[in-house]
Amino acid sequence: MSDFNRVRLTWKEAAGGLYGYPKQTQKDCEVAIRKVDKKTAALAQQMFQRDRNVSSFLKVHASRTDSMSARLLVAAIEPWERVLDPKLANEKEARGERGLYGFSRKTATLGLSGCTDLRDFTGSVAYSLHSRRAARYEQVTGFFDRHAGEGGCSYSRILLSSYPDIEVLKAAGLDKSASVPEDWLSED
């Protein structure tokens, strides 16, 4: 074995990132946070353009159910509300069927589907990170936990709550090996 390979095998990753975690772990987590942030902004813009009352619905939903996705969407909609013309903000809503929390069914359905879409996207981003960095499970979850607590990052909090357990990838690996025929080990 050459000296290069020996050094390469024994090299440890330096903890030079935030909270004492390796820089690569920090970068991986920050990429996931940016992906969720962009998706949240896009969903908020779409929802607000379809129904301007969705912000009020999401505020009530976030307070009553402690929904992290609703809180993130409310924060992303706030800049849109600030630039809204006050004349448009006072539009009267047409009377129709009422849904959750007394809002129109259209508004309630839009708000809940936005929360579901955000949670679903966050889960797929978290699983993608987990499938690529399963060996660093403790580092990734630890970084998200510290960044949510000390950094006050809501995106880290929702990613941590959506992050799969360590057994998920191992179970997926076992499922793949189950498709191998049983007699492949038998001697002829």
Tens of pLDDT, residues 138-158: 999 999 999 999 989 999 999
Instruction: Report the predicted TM-score, pTM, of the whole model to 2 decimal places.
Output: 0.76
Q: Can you give the pLDDT at residue 94?
A: 57
Residue in the structure block whose two tokens are 């630890």: 142
How far apart CA 7 and CA 156 sit, in angstroms, is 35
- For residue 132, give the H/E element and its range: helix 105-132
pLDDT of residue 58: 95
* Distance (Å) of CA 58 to CA 2, 93, 185: 61, 17, 57
Tell me the CB-side half-sphere exposure of residue 107, using CA atoms within 13 A: 24
Q: How confident is the model at residue 184 (pLDDT cuts 50, 70, 90)?
A: very low
Give the pLDDT score at 6: 45
Q: Is the pLDDT of residue 160 over 50?
A: yes
What confidence category does residue 101 fall into, taking pLDDT thresholds of 50, 70 and 90? Answer: confident
